[in-house]
Amino acid sequence: MRLFPSIYDRLHLCIRRRFSQAGQHYNRFSLLYPSPLFPHRVHSHSSSSSLPHSLPTLRYRLDMENAVEKSWSDRTIDTGDVKELFSRVRPDSPIPADIVSRAHFLCAHYLGGAWKSSDMHRFTIKQITGGMSNLLFLVQLCDSLSLKHSEPRRALLRIHCQSDIDQLLSESVVFTLLSERKLGPRLLGVFPGGRFEQYIPSRPLQCLEISQHRFAREISGMLARVHSLDVPIGKEPQLINRMRTWINKWSAYDSSKEGITIKCTRANVHPSKYPSHVSIEDLNAEVAFVERFLDSIHSPIIFSHNDLQEGNILLIEKEQEGDVQDLALIDFEYCDYNYRGFDLGNHMCEYGLDYSCDKHPYYFVYPEKLEMEEERGRFCAGYMEELYEMQSKGMDIPAQLISGDREKDLERIEIEAALFMPISHLFWSTWAFVNAEESSISFGYAEYGRDRLAMYFNGKTKMEEYMRS
């Protein structure tokens, strides 16, 4: 029982160190760029050239650029600016030499073994596209280099882009626990600003696949197992707090208090179904409405994934023809205790949201797939079947998840799944508006936020009907 608290404490220390260093480093961009939500404004960020050359980061870079040969033990371990550094990588462009050098340095220190003795010519790094909240890279040693101990030949390097220290801490603890429960990749190393994960030869599921029965049954079972976990983090739902935090954060960018003009880009919602304009006060009023709805529906509060979209579900490659293809969950950034209905409704929304588009705004919306009642019913049936099967095997199941009346339980979660879909739309719209101002990832956050806000208003009437019933 001592192992997990020890890991928790280490992660806590590591993440807090990341933020204690943050003030020593330069801002993300050294260029001018327009705001996607307020195009008349331009953000300006200072260049690293104005920083004093005594900073450890710049000493490290000068050493690397001048090819000074030093042992790994002599080099300063400075990882505080990894987000700013790695965010300079652009898709389909060569990775800059200083970023390759930093990645090589991180691998040597945190993965050890052959990584520590390899040179730059026997090391590769490649960006993995698809991450909407983090920067992902595959790092690999060449096949000719012999491994020394149990170190991996390949690993996933994840660079955190968020700045919420408590959220980062919880996500790292959750990742460690789910790794131990065989629900996700193994944790290989953690450092301020990111971590190394087991690289699983796989591909993410596609939007059109997650609703197919061959995958949906396994996904529903995995979600049921996640919901049955007792995780050592705060037990209060953060759904409302997160939306309010994002709205307050976004309001700082909306200095003129002009709000949002809603215009659908991909969503097929008739303009009569949503207001043409919303202010900060309007968004806060919608969050207050959701809060009242939550008080009326009494959805159980359980540990939740909160972002079960196709990109976060991996289809593991078969080693031999005929092997069963397993799935693995990844990206636990938004995991916390939440209302069960949110996890169900959020996943149902993902049936109609496709992030495989390679052109701006980098997503599609399939309205007909947001109304797939038969597929929703099958998913909920698989979820409930898994819970009752776990109970029959003597496994601990939170009492609020099942009542003993399977038919009644199934009817209940089908209602929750449908009614929480609009809440998912509102949640991710507030997230998108903040990321439209802050994120360096190529994605149409502003358009996405408007589309999901329109879909929220389109579905809000069902929530109102439920509250009146």
Domain of residue 164, CATH code = 3.30.200.20
Residue that wins the pLDDT comparison between 262 and 51: 262
pLDDT digits (tens, 9 = 90+) for 276-291: 999 999 999 999 999 9
Q: In this structure, are 16 and 159 located in the same domain?
A: yes
Query: Is residue 165 predicted with pLDDT exceeding 70?
Result: yes
How confident is residue 143, by pLDDT bands cut at 50, 70 and 90? very high
Q: What is the pLDDT of residue 30?
A: 29
What's the domain range around 344? 203-468
Overall domain count for the chain: 2
Residues 420/408, Cβ–Cβ less than 8 Å: no
Q: What is the pLDDT of residue 463?
A: 99
Last residue of a domain, one of 199, 215, 247: 199
Q: What is the pLDDT of residue 35?
A: 47
Q: What is the pLDDT of residue 78?
A: 53
pLDDT digits (tens, 9 = 90+) for 199-238: 989 999 999 999 999 999 999 999 999 999 999 999 999 9
Q: What is the pLDDT of residue 413?
A: 98
Q: In this structure, are 76 and 18 located in the same domain?
A: yes
Residue that wins the pLDDT comparison between 187 and 269: 269
Q: What is the pLDDT of residue 47?
A: 35
Q: In this structure, are 447 and 416 located in the same domain?
A: yes
Highest mean pLDDT among 173-187, 247-261, 388-402: 388-402
Q: What is the pLDDT of residue 80?
A: 56
Q: In this structure, are 157 and 280 located in the same domain?
A: no
**CATH code, domain carrying 391:** 3.90.1200.10
pLDDT digits (tens, 9 = 90+) for 29-67: 223 334 445 443 333 333 333 333 333 333 333 344 343
Q: What is the pLDDT of residue 390?
A: 97
Q: In this structure, are 75 and 207 located in the same domain?
A: no
How confident is residue 157, by pLDDT bands cut at 50, 70 and 90? very high
Last residue of a domain, one of 173, 199, 225: 199
pLDDT digits (tens, 9 = 90+) for 323-355: 445 899 988 889 999 999 999 999 999 999 999
How confident is residue 258, by pLDDT bands cut at 50, 70 and 90? confident
Q: In this structure, are 237 and 332 located in the same domain?
A: yes
Last residue of a domain, one of 158, 175, 199: 199
Q: In this structure, are 276 and 410 located in the same domain?
A: yes
Q: In this structure, are 195 and 157 located in the same domain?
A: yes
The pTM score is: 0.76
Q: In this structure, are 287 and 172 located in the same domain?
A: no
Q: What is the pLDDT of residue 163?
A: 65
Q: What is the pLDDT of residue 223?
A: 97
Q: What is the pLDDT of residue 162?
A: 72
pLDDT digits (tens, 9 = 90+) for 369-413: 999 999 999 999 999 999 999 999 999 999 999 999 999 999 999
Q: In this structure, are 273 and 377 located in the same domain?
A: yes
| Mean local confidence (pLDDT), 107-125 | 93
Q: In this structure, are 107 and 244 located in the same domain?
A: no
* Averaged pLDDT of the chain: 84
Q: In this structure, are 218 and 183 located in the same domain?
A: no
